[in-house]
Amino acid sequence: MAKDLERDLGLFAVIAISMGAMIGSGIFILPGVAMAEAGPAVILAFVIAAILVVPAALSIAELGTAMPEAGGDYVFIERGLGPSFGTIAGLGTWLMLMLKGSLALYGGMFYVNFIYQLPTWEIAIPALEAGLTIPGVRALGITFAIVLIAVNLVGVKQTGGLQLIMVMVMLAILSAFVVGSIVQVEGANYDPFWPDDGIDGVLSATALVLVSYAGVTKVAAVAEEIENPGRNLPLGLFISLIATAFLYALLVFVLVGVVEGPELTGTEEPMAVATELLFGAATIPVPIVGTLPAGSFAVAAIVLAALLALVSTANAGILTASRYPLALSRDKLFLEVFEYIHPRFSTPFVAILTTGAIIIFIVATQEVDEIAKMAGAFQILVYILVCGALIAFREHNLEWYDPEFQTPGYPWIQLFGILSGIFIITQMDAQEIIGSVGIVVFGFLWFRWYAKDRIEREGAAKGLARREAGKQFVRDTEEQLEREDRFEMLIPLRRDVTREQEDALIQLAAPIVRRRGGRIRVVRFDEVPDQVPLDTAAKTLSETDLEFEQRTDELVQDLEVPVEVGEIVSHDTRHAVVNFAERIGADLVLARQEATSRLGTLFGRDTDWIMEHAPCDVAFVQHAQRVSVDEIAVVTDRSPFNDPLKVELADAMADVLGARIRFLFAVSENAPDELLETIADYHAELDALCTVPVESSIVRSDDAVDGLSEALEPSDIVILSTVTHRRLPDLLIEQRSDRLAAAIEQPALLVHSKETRRGSFLRPILERVLFD
């Protein structure tokens, strides 16, 4: 029998946990640093940052009540947007928590330095005949980091009761500070209110202080233990966010009002500076050390509160951050070594050591404002993904997705969260923008290289997008099949084409034109050197020319469609083909094509040029030969942009020839069930549009070409998609349609729709990603 967690966390506990995760660097470190960006308007920066967090907080509240056992934002994103975005979210949250822990460690030591001047560390390095100088604040921060890493390695951690007591102590000290200082606020300190660069400075400060609210959504990790989560989780998150934002704004308002701008701007210990100014300086006797020039009891209390908050935040940062590479590893998205659990201490040893090492590096090398902004960038990136995940779950209409709380204002709240998040990232410095883009790119590349073949699951968003894309393909196919205009087909031939090859092309073209009505134009294109005048070459009628006209007349005499035969002389055949197709208003160019090696595409092919410039659809035939046709195979996978044209041609030929169609789609051995269901539905909808019998086959194989070529053996004609070759890239990655066409013996019709050129650059890429 499975064990359930007792739901004993009430509304007050939710508020305490959420506020405890937020109160820290936002008030003890960042006000002075942010004031250097925004001046007194830093008050607005804290308010705007809180507003930006609201969409993510509401989304987390809904997701937490729908999946209370899931364990937080990383899993919500992984389930909603898929493992690739889950990888990005996991890595981004890991970095954000490490940066937040580093900020707390480094910033907290400034408070120690305020009451006792920390000595600089001099470390001799004999091998280099030099020394390493480490400022006292960084040195003490590194020392605390090492201690906390050791604490986490052996499994000693703070209890929930201690965390609650600490939050109460901090709130009491901060409340006393506000009560004792608000009466001493000077209005002159707020003038001028706006910074010199106006709103830009406020937005820059907003990006800096975003990390202050990083803990608001962490309570979702214990959603399974919350009593009445449908009420207490969203209400607790909302109350804690409002209370913390109000507290931050009030404290910053007091700080700006009691400390003159030059004294507060840029300081890393603003609370201590304000307290000393208000309550006076004094000396505190300490055994052995002597006296500390710290200030009054009030200063000591503020320093104590800061150390409690920041060291606790750092410890929690190491504890929670180290669990993300562990979770990623267990989900097969990251290196297996991070799954290692120490046999004695039962802690994720490698994950903690790696996390700790990175935190030490950050403390040793980065400045406070750089750490805060980078942490805020990664945090807002995760919040954007959380809003996207909620949209994916809502729109997918999953039977099991039944949250007790639903976000009001959906989807506008989530869209605001996504757009505002993207906007605020663009307002950050180049380092933060590059870092945000870098983690996205690295996450995708890592997933494609390492994790893609190790997992069988996908997110709700990909299934939703695939389903919508499938519907669009069906609509496009329906429009293609319902066209009633007469069909003009051009069959361009070179001089070296044989009678058998010409016959095969005409036999493929005839059923298509017969179905639609129209005519076939069989034109031989003779290319002559530039030195030969075209009029001279056109007047010369050779025996080969006469033989071509005679044999073509013989080939088409039994066809039930009109055929016109002609010859064109030009200096450049490919230009002549495109120009003639445009002049006659051709709907399809049907040409012969020889299989080409990847090396052969390096300098470009005439067929690629024709595909790029033709005013109509283009199809190339490989292995051209006359065959009896009982089954026409249409490979629909990975090139859905061309599917409408492929289905139209297949249905026309099968209808006239009395054949059947078989749709084939290749998937990997570990393809998710949802993909298989979507493809089956897609084929069924295409079946409903066709006028001939249709079969559907889904080929499971890790080598799609081998799997498809074997499955295609019973078919008489194979219809594939093709794209223009990009020359040098094709030396590295061969087009799968080329490999498949070369691997089979049947005539292969490689189709390229003109809609591919008219559509957006991203659409075919996105479609391939969805159906890969």
Burial zone of 717 (CB within 10 Å; 0-12 exposed, 13-18 middle, 19+ buried): buried
The more confident residue out of 418 and 157 is 418
Give me the pLDDT at residue 155, please.
64
The more confident residue out of 458 and 632 is 632
- CA–CA separation, 687 vs 636, rounded Å? 13
User: Taking 70 as the threshold, does the pLDDT of residue 768 lie above it?
Assistant: no
Relative orientation angle of helices 199-209 and 30-38, to the nearest 10 degrees: 160
Amino acid occupying residue 665? F
- CA–CA separation, 225 vs 223, rounded Å? 5
User: Taking 80 as the threshold, does the pLDDT of residue 194 lie above it?
Assistant: yes
- Count CA atoms closer than 13 A to 504's CA, side-chain side: 23
User: Taking 50 as the threshold, does the pLDDT of residue 48 lie above it?
Assistant: yes
- CA–CA separation, 387 vs 416, rounded Å? 9
Give me the pLDDT at residue 415, please.
92
Helices (H) and strands (E) in the chain, counts: 31, 14
Q: Dump pLDDT digits (tens) for 364-397.
A: 888 888 888 888 888 888 889 889 888 888 877 6
- Count CA atoms closer than 13 A to 70's CA, side-chain side: 22
User: Taking 80 as the threshold, does the pLDDT of residue 536 lie above it?
Assistant: no
CB 405 within 8 A of CB 233: yes
Tell if the pTM clears 0.75, that is, is over it: no
User: Taking 50 as the threshold, does the pLDDT of residue 128 lie above it?
Assistant: no
Q: Dump pLDDT digits (tens) for 448-497.
A: 888 877 776 665 556 655 566 556 656 666 666 666 667 889 999 888 88
CB 96 within 8 A of CB 214: yes
For 143, the token pair is: 């020392």
Average pLDDT over residues 53-78: 78
Q: How many other CB atoms are found less than 10 A from the CB of residue 482?
A: 9
The more confident residue out of 528 and 424 is 424
Give me the pLDDT at residue 613, please.
87
Q: Dump pLDDT digits (tens) for 635-671.
A: 886 444 567 888 888 998 999 899 999 999 888 887 7
The more confident residue out of 354 and 598 is 354
